[in-house]
Structure 1
Amino acid sequence: MSVVSNTSPITNLAGIGQLDLLHQFYDTITIPQAVYNEMATIGRAVPGALEVQTLPWITVQPVKDQNQVEALRAVLDPGKAEAIVLALELNASLLIIDERPGRSIARQNSILIIGVLGVLLEAKQQGLIASVQPLVDRLINELEFRVSKRLYETVLQTTGEA
């Protein structure tokens, strides 16, 4: 299974101590160079930065079609644009991405997507975590992860924690 990730799922999961869930679910995560750069070369500590530089199950792969990346850059930042193009180039089974504009473009290109909340829901269903609510609360309160009240309530209802 080929899985590509954007920056925010890695930083957010690392920020709440749950990055290993990606490894448990997908074995290997591939990130484009722009995602690596957003995390490892910005000159300040970012959750997950050390991990993308050291963990063998997170690999960096350059994007070939820079024209397509540039076209997407009109509406997306470099990491999202490259993640979508890399997912297309690899015919990835899944793209891990959270932000609405990137998710919309991925869907338009028939790329299967999941976000941090989906990963946490899957982890709860598989018994890898006991509860989703404290982790989502940490995402919101500590990492400024944006979740609408409606989505928050839906997640808790889905997990039986509401």
Structure 2
Amino acid sequence: MTKPAIVADSGPLISLALIEQLDLLRQLYQQVLVPPAVWHEVTVKGRGLPGAEAVSQLTWLEVRTPEPQVLQPLSILVDPGEAEAIALAQTIADSIVLLDDSQARRVAERFNIPRIGTLGILRRAKKRGLIAAIRPHIEYLKANNIYMADNLVAAVLRDVGEEG
């Protein structure tokens, strides 16, 4: 069963914007949330960079501030956007956090927060029939210097029948 809410970090938002698939988040989740640090990182600090304009135009994306007492211990472990995303996901029932950074994913795991990455979103979208193929998106992201572990890419492509 899909979680009702997803809390996004900057990296996956930018990746999905690059491949023009941001709408998958809205199609897969009832609520799409970003903390203020992620919004600022993508749309203000990132102005003029890939994804900034597309993300700033999303009317269904909700900016929500995490609780300071939940955020504080996370702030020493990961960057501000990741910390806020994990903290927000911690306080929203039945939510999942969208993270690609391996350190941030380990921190979320330590706090027992369900997590998914860009490849997981693409995998879920393909299995639901929302996209025809994942491989072209992966190739485009890699060509634009978005890092993805080869073994993870291979596993996802094998899972959706696109290996080889």
Please, what TM-score do these two structures have when normalized by structure 2?
0.89
Q: Percent identity, aligned pairs only?
A: 36
Q: Which of 127, 141, 144 is residue 143 of structure 2 equivalent to?
A: 141
Aligned residue number for residue 74 of structure 2: 72
Partners in 2 of 1:130 and 1:98 — Cα distance?
A: 22
Aligned residue number for residue 50 of structure 2: 47
Q: Alpha carbons of 1:134 and 1:96: their partners in 2 closer, same or farther (altered >3 Å)?
A: same
Alignment of 1:124-135 (within 5 A): 124-135=126-137
Moved more, 88-97 or 43-52: 43-52
Q: Does 1:12 align with 2:15?
A: yes
Q: Does 1:153 align with 2:154?
A: yes
Alignment of 1:100-111 (within 5 A): 100-111=102-113
What do residues 117-152 of structure 1 show as CA deviations (whole Å, max 9, x unaligned)? 00101111111111111111111111x221222222
Q: Alpha carbons of 1:59 and 1:104: their partners in 2 closer, same or farther (altered >3 Å)?
A: same
Aligned residue number for residue 26 of structure 2: 23
Q: What's the RMSD between the two structures over aligned residues?
A: 1.6
Q: How far is the alpha carbon of 1:61 from its aligned partner?
A: 0.9
Q: Is the 8 A contact 2:96 2:116 kept in 1?
A: yes
- What residue ranges of structure 2 are gaps of 5+ in the alignment? none
Q: Is the 8 A contact 1:4 1:94 kept in 2?
A: yes
Q: How far is the alpha carbon of 1:43 from its aligned partner?
A: 5.5
- What residue ranges of structure 1 are gaps of 5+ in the alignment? none
Alignment of 1:112-131 (within 5 A): 112-131=114-133
1:21 partner SS: helix
Please, what TM-score do these two structures have when normalized by structure 1?
0.90
Q: How far is the alpha carbon of 1:92 from its aligned partner?
A: 4.5
Aligned residue number for residue 58 of structure 1: 61
Q: Is the 8 A contact 1:4 1:92 kept in 2?
A: no
Q: How far is the alpha carbon of 1:90 from its aligned partner?
A: 2.0
Q: How far is the alpha carbon of 1:70 from its aligned partner?
A: 3.7
1:63 partner SS: coil
Partners in 2 of 1:52 and 1:153 — Cα distance?
A: 29
How many pairs were matched up?
160
2:109 partner SS: helix
1:94 partner SS: strand
The one-letter code matched in structure 1 to 2:81 is G
